[in-house]
Amino acid sequence: METATPKKASKKDYRQLIVEGFVAHVLEHGKEPASIFKFAKDLKIKEEEVYNYFTSFESVKSAIWVALFEETLRQLEEQEVYKEYSVREKFLAFLYTWIEELKKNRSYLLCLYQDKSSTFKTLPKDSRDFKEKFSDFATELVMEGKETQEIASRPFISEKYDEALWMQAGFVFRYWLDDRSPRFEKTDAAIEKSVNLAFDLMGKSALDSFLDFAKFLYQPK
């Protein structure tokens, strides 16, 4: 979702006009518009037209988060090789591609979130719709990982794996917001190291082998 100066819209593309107008306002003023009324007036549309698509500025921001996620998935799914990746490689590819999409909108994201990032447990509250879609994506990855035995099934713990991946996305976002390295090289390194650690922990480990062996020994002969 690259930003652009909003253009006069036909009735069909009011939604896009509103989204682009919101991003443009944040970039120009460093903050959200003061009110829906003032925002609609600046866009030269009726206030009710905004409410036909969005009930608040939070819902506009939510739509932007979803658009970034959907564009990331679209790019991944266009690549034939993506289907052949391991689950670990798929999640790595997702985060790398997602960060590339975030880079295109870095100034907008910095204006809204840089000063607040330390208060986030994961991602901003206006990313809730994104979280729902991400959770579906993460659940599919976890299920595939269990089928391929890249991810170990553990009572109680494995039910939280999708949430762990969401927390990892939040970590990557916050790290990237504060990253000042050339070409965000440190973010790339953080993605690689954190994903490898996560999948090493979710995978079958020496502890699992020990527990399996212990169960075997204590089985009735």
Domain for residue 4, yes or no? Answer: no
Domain for residue 60, yes or no? Answer: no
Give the Cβ contact number of residue 63 at 10 Å: 20
Residue 215, pLDDT > 80, answer: no
pLDDT value for 160: 93
Whether residue 103 is found in the same domain as residue 40: no
Whether residue 131 is found in the same domain as residue 199: yes
Whether residue 40 is found in the same domain as residue 76: no
Whether residue 143 is found in the same domain as residue 181: yes
Whether residue 129 is found in the same domain as residue 157: yes
Residue 158, pLDDT > 90, answer: no
Please state the rounded mean pLDDT for residues 31-48.
96
pLDDT value for 85: 98
Query: What is the rounded distance in angstroms from the CA atom of residue 171 to the CA atom of residue 168?
Result: 5
Residue 221, pLDDT > 50, answer: no
Question: Per-residue pLDDT tens for 161-187?
Answer: 999 999 999 999 999 999 999 999 999
pLDDT tier, 3 (very low <50, low <70, confident <90, very high otherwise): low
How many domains does the chain fold into?
A: 2
- Binning the chain into helix, strand and coil, the percentages to the nearest 5 are 75, 0, 25
Look up the domain containing 50 and give its range: 11-55
Whether residue 123 is found in the same domain as residue 97: yes
Domain for residue 2, yes or no? Answer: no
Residue 220, pLDDT > 90, answer: no
Query: What is the rounded distance in angstroms from the CA atom of residue 73 to the CA atom of residue 92?
Result: 13
Domain for residue 73, yes or no? Answer: yes
Residue 90, pLDDT > 60, answer: yes
Domain for residue 22, yes or no? Answer: yes
Domain for residue 213, yes or no? Answer: no
Whether residue 128 is found in the same domain as residue 31: no
Whether residue 90 is found in the same domain as residue 198: yes
Question: Per-residue pLDDT tens for 56-85?
Answer: 999 999 999 999 999 999 999 999 999 999
Domain for residue 63, yes or no? Answer: no
Whether residue 107 is found in the same domain as residue 150: yes
Question: Per-residue pLDDT tens for 124-143?
Answer: 999 999 999 999 999 999 99
Give, rounded to a whole angstrom, the gap between the first and last alpha carbons of the chain: 62
CATH number at residue 25: 1.10.10
Whether residue 38 is found in the same domain as residue 92: no
* Percent above pLDDT 70 for the chain: 88
Whether residue 48 is found in the same domain as residue 73: no
Query: What is the rounded distance in angstroms from the CA atom of residue 21 to the CA atom of residue 195?
Result: 36
